[in-house]
Structure 1
Amino acid sequence: MYPVKHISITIRCPPARVYEFASRPQNLPRWAAGLARSEVRREGEAWVTDAPFGRIRIRFVPDNPFGVMDHDVELASGVVVHNPMRVVPNGEGSEFIFTLIRRPDMSDAQFAEDADAVKKDLAQLKAILEGHT
């Protein structure tokens, strides 16, 4: 078992709208700079983009009515990182939850950096969906 951090943010927007935006890989460069720094394009069953740490391949779970946006990120090294991600109702708004799982090769500092990057990405997602950008 590996250490995890559940990183969440409240978004004043209905879950269906949050899911519709966040589940589209083409939108990743707009809100997930920690993952996608360039256009995201389809290659077979995966989506390909340039991340801050190199070219990656992303595979999302199929669209679903449960707000699940889990995805696997294949690094240039071939290592695959699983990323659980959800949007759930919270009153009239949403709670967006990303579970960051520490990889065995990560230092404490690297894990903290990853968590900070996720927090920044979720803050950007919130700003976009609440109309602050």
Structure 2
Amino acid sequence: MSNSKTLSVSVGRKPAEIYDFILDPENLPRWAPAFSQSAIKSGNEWKVESPDGLVTIRFVERNEFGVLDHWVTMPSGQVVLNPMRVIPNGDGSEVVFTLYQRPGMPDDKFEADAQMVASDLQTLKITFEG
């Protein structure tokens, strides 16, 4: 088993609105600037310029459960699953992201990635709430 961290943010908007926004990878640079500088569609996948180099992202099919799991193929060819959900939280939403420590990843790199995800989730909140 890998070490993991589950990070979340509460956002004062309806889950469907946030779900649709996140599911469109063209929005990645807007809410996840620490991870994505650009996103270009390539068939059923998206090529994303990330701090680790050019990665490929593929989301699960659109669904009614708020599941936004996605696979990231690293420049090395390693495929990483990122479980993600948008769930109702009163009149708003909770966005939940689980990060796994990849095999061979140093602890300090894992912590830096967790900080990057936390920062991007805060940017998502600011994007919707101003």
Q: TM-score, normalising length from structure 1?
A: 0.94
Secondary structure in 2 aligned to 1:100? Answer: strand
Q: Give the structure 1 partner of residue 103 of structure 2.
A: 104
Secondary structure in 1 aligned to 2:62? Answer: coil
Task: Could you tell me which runs of 5 or more consecutive residues in structure 2 were left unpaired when the two chains were aligned.
Answer: none
Q: Give the structure 1 partner of residue 88 of structure 2.
A: 89
Partner Cα distance (2:81, 2:34) in 1: 15
Q: Give the structure 1 partner of residue 18 of structure 2.
A: 18
Q: Give the total of aligned pairs.
A: 130
Give the aligned CA root-mean-square deviation in angstroms.
Answer: 0.8
1:30-41 counterparts in 2 under 5 A? 30-38=30-38, 40-41=39-40
Alignment of 1:47 onto 2:46: yes
Q: TM-score, normalising length from structure 2?
A: 0.96
Partner Cα distance (2:103, 2:47) in 1: 25
Q: Give the structure 2 partner of residue 125 of structure 1.
A: 124
Partner Cα distance (1:53, 1:101) in 2: 16
Secondary structure in 2 aligned to 1:104? Answer: coil
Secondary structure in 2 aligned to 1:2? Answer: coil
Deviates more, 1:40-49 or 1:82-91: 40-49
Task: Could you tell me which runs of 5 or more consecutive residues in structure 1 were left unpaired when the two chains were aligned.
Answer: none
Partner Cα distance (1:73, 1:33) in 2: 16
Partner Cα distance (1:8, 1:56) in 2: 23
Q: Give the structure 2 partner of residue 8 of structure 1.
A: 8
> How far 1:35 moved relative to its partner?
2.3
Q: Give the structure 2 partner of residue 67 of structure 1.
A: 66
Q: Provide Cα deviations, 1:64-108, integer angstroms capped at 9, x if missing partner.
A: 111111000011111111100000001111000000011111111
Letter in 1 for 2:12: R
> How far 1:45 moved relative to its partner?
1.9
> How far 1:2 moved relative to its partner?
0.9
Letter in 1 for 2:15: P
Deviation >3 Å, runs of 4+: none
